[in-house]
């Protein structure tokens, strides 16, 4: 069974927005993609698509914040990925990496600890039966290059 949190759902939704944006050849209006994804996750019955007993809603504000950041900084995200990925990636891995780098840059390790971002995207990547080790290692190196404290814990 998958354990979902509202921010996990936001991360998954962000990955899907980035995937669809790239899949469309960047021709589909991003606002339409974001609205489509947001509406899907705000439906009461979306969890039927997951092996989850939890009624977790999308953290819509977080999703919108990350999505807008990612789309506006797409070239910068890609620079970090190209610099640290050892090979060209497929569209799914690229979307996962863009989403992870966007969250690292957007939160700066303050809003969300770096280790949480790394773990979340490792788990999301594994749920797609993709190379989670590759995504984790690239995100780890990007976090280091951004001088983010990877041992931080969120302080209240």
What's the average model confidence in pLDDT over 83-88? 85
Is 155 inside any structural domain?
no
Is 75 inside any structural domain?
yes
Tell me which residue of 132, 129, 137, 65 sits closest to 102, measured CA to CA: 65
- Burial of residue 90, with CB atoms counted within 10 A of its CB: 0-12 exposed, 13-18 middle, 19 or more buried: exposed
Is 19 inside any structural domain?
yes
The string of pLDDT tens digits covering residues 113-154 is 999 999 999 999 998 888 899 999 999 999 999 988 766 544
- What is the CB neighbour count within 10 angstroms for residue 69? 17
- Region of residue 28 (left: phi > 0; alpha: psi -120 to 50; beta: else): beta
Is 154 inside any structural domain?
no
Q: Which domain holds residue 72?
A: 6-145
pLDDT-above-70 percentage for the chain: 85
The string of pLDDT tens digits covering residues 46-56 is 666 665 556 67
CATH number at residue 55: 1.10.940.10
Token code pair at residue 24? 């469309």
Domain count, the chain: 1
What's the average model confidence in pLDDT over 3-18? 90
C-alpha dihedral (19, 120, 89, 76), degrees to nearest 10: 80
């Amino acid at each position: 069974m998958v354990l979902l949190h509202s921010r996990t759902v936001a991360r998954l939704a962000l990955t899907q927005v980035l995937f669809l944006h790239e899949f469309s050849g960047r021709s589909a209006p991003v606002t339409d993609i974001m609205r489509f994804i947001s509406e899907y996750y705000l439906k009461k019955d979306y969890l039927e698509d997951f092996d989850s007993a939890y009624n977790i809603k999308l953290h819509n504000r977080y999703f919108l914040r990350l999505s807008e950041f990612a789309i506006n900084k797409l070239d910068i995200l890609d620079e970090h990925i190209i610099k640290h990925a050892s090979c060209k990636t497929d569209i799914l891995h690229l979307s996962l990496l863009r989403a992870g780098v966007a969250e690292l840059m957007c939160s700066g390790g303050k809003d969300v600890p770096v280790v949480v971002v790394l773990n979340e995207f490792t788990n999301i990547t594994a749920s797609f039966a993709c190379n989670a080790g590759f995504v984790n290692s690239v995100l780890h190196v990007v976090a280091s290059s951004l001088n983010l404290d990877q041992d931080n814990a969120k302080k209240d």
